[in-house]
């Protein structure tokens, strides 16, 4: 199995809008999933197409936006205390790679460029051992199948920052390398302290101090691909609270952030009348597409709606159709994505 050929095969399935994914860490992760995909009956062409689709999904799922409240004196003092407590661990990481316990780079730009260059070099060495890895993988899979063991394949990515760019960047971290150790150690520290992992990576390389946020709202647009190839699009928001002294004003601001992303500005909840209309249209076979059938369909729907909800009845069938279209837009059905 030629790993370079697999990567090229996946890249060939990327559309014009996804050309930026070539050489990206998301393509790398999708490549690992395709490499370890079971099923001898699956053609290489289908595997490559799945890999390209998976790379696009991973990119969208991980393009998070983080919104944070302004830092207070308490936050800065707490962050400084954490950094001082972590100093020996951070110094050990630096010494393993650079031979010094002091920061190696002068600024974020230098550190980011070094990470990208080092990651590509590590990947080149990783690919050079593709044949040995393929044999090991086949043997591991054989033993797992023989003993009914389920195996999960993972890949590790290192988050880092770029100058004048608020979005977190990611670089592949190959097992056994220093970048891999840096990714795992900063990930462990993040889980225990709440300090952002990308800021910790910058701290290790440049000495710039990370600050723990009071509350962090992480928003994401997720796309879930169904077996049919259709996608469900979902807006998500996760809130992490860390400050002990959050004010009512701050809580209202957090609510505004979440509502603005997940529901949209001014979004109102659907009611029982909307639910009845949705179910009614589905039970009637769904919105008609054929010419000449739309008017009779929506007139019948109007009559049934007004019988069920005589208060504030629909005066035209077009009103029923428009309301249904509004519900569909809110639901963002898979075929609409």
Q: What is the pLDDT of residues 52-82, one digit of tens each?
A: 888 877 776 666 556 677 888 888 888 889 9
Residue 69 has a CB neighbour count (10 Å cut-off) of 21
Indicate whether 77 belongs to any domain. Answer: yes
Same domain for 226 and 293, yes or no, is no
Q: Summarize pLDDT for 191-226 with one digit per residue, the tens.
A: 888 888 999 999 999 999 888 888 888 777 766 655
Same domain for 52 and 102, yes or no, is no
Domain range for residue 232?
Answer: 220-267
Please provide the DSSP assignment of 194-250 as one string.
Answer: ---HHHHHHHHHH-PPP---SEEEEEEEEEEE-TTS-EEEEEEEEEEE--S---HHH
Query: Among all chains, which residue has been given the structure tokens 């070539």?
Result: 22
Indicate whether 137 belongs to any domain. Answer: no
What's the CA gap between 42 and 315, in Å, rounded? 55
Same domain for 203 and 254, yes or no, is no
- The helix (run of H) or strand (run of E) holding residue 190 is helix 178-193
User: For residue 19, how many C-alpha atoms fall within 13 Å in the half-sphere facing its CB?
Assistant: 2
Task: Report if pTM > 0.75.
Answer: no
Residue 140's contacts (CB-CB under 8 Å, 6 or more residues apart) are: 151
Indicate whether 135 belongs to any domain. Answer: no
Confidence of residue 334 (pLDDT cuts 50, 70, 90): very low
- DSSP state, 335? G
Same domain for 245 and 327, yes or no, is no
Same domain for 20 and 48, yes or no, is yes
Q: What is the pLDDT of residue 203?
A: 96
Same domain for 71 and 153, yes or no, is yes
Residue 85's contacts (CB-CB under 8 Å, 6 or more residues apart) are: none
Same domain for 207 and 255, yes or no, is no
Computed from CA positions of residues 123, 126, 130, 133, in that sequence, does the dihedral angle turn out positive or negative?
Answer: negative
Q: Summarize pLDDT for 308-332 with one digit per residue, the tens.
A: 999 889 999 999 999 998 887 776 5
> Which of 213, 237, 253 is the endpoint of a domain?
213
Same domain for 94 and 207, yes or no, is yes
Whether residue 25 has pLDDT greater than 80: no
* Phi then psi dihedrals of residue 33, to 5 deg: -65, -40
């Amino acid at each position: 199995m030629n790993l370079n050929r697999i990567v090229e095969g996946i890249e060939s399935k990327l559309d014009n809008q996804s050309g930026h994914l070539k050489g990206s860490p998301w393509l790398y992760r999708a490549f690992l999933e395709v490499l370890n995909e079971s099923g001898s009956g699956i053609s290489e062409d289908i595997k490559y197409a799945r890999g390209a689709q998976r790379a696009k999904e991973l990119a969208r799922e991980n393009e998070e936006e983080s919104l944070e409240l302004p830092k207070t004196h308490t936050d800065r003092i707490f962050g400084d205390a954490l950094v001082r407590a972590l100093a020996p661990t951070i110094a050990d990481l630096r010494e393993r790679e650079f031979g010094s316990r002091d920061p190696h780079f002068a600024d974020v730009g230098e550190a980011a460029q070094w990470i990208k260059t080092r990651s590509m070099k590590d990947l080149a060495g990783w690919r050079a051992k593709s044949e040995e890895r393929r044999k090991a993988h086949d043997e591991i899979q054989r033993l797992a199948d023989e003993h009914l063991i389920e195996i999960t394949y993972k890949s590790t990515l290192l988050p880092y920052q770029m100058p004048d760019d608020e979005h977190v960047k990611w670089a592949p971290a190959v097992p056994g390398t220093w970048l891999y150790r840096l990714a795992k150690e900063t990930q462990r520290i993040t889980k225990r302290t709440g300090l952002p992992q990308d800021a910790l990576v910058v701290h290790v390389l440049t000495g710039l101090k990370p600050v723990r946020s009071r509350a962090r709202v992480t928003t994401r647009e997720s796309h879930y691909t169904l077996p049919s190839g259709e996608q469900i699009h979902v807006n998500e928001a996760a809130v992490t609270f860390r400050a002990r002294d959050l004010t009512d004003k701050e809580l209202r601001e957090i609510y505004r952030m979440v509502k603005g992303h997940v529901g949209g500005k001014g979004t109102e909840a659907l009611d029982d009348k909307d639910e009845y209309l949705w179910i009614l249209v589905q039970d009637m076979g769904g919105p008609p597409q054929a010419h000449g059938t739309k008017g009779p369909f929506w007139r019948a729907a109007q009559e049934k709606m007004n019988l069920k909800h005589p208060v504030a009845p629909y005066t035209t069938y077009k009103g029923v159709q428009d309301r249904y279209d509004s519900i569909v837009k809110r639901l963002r059905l898979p075929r609409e994505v």
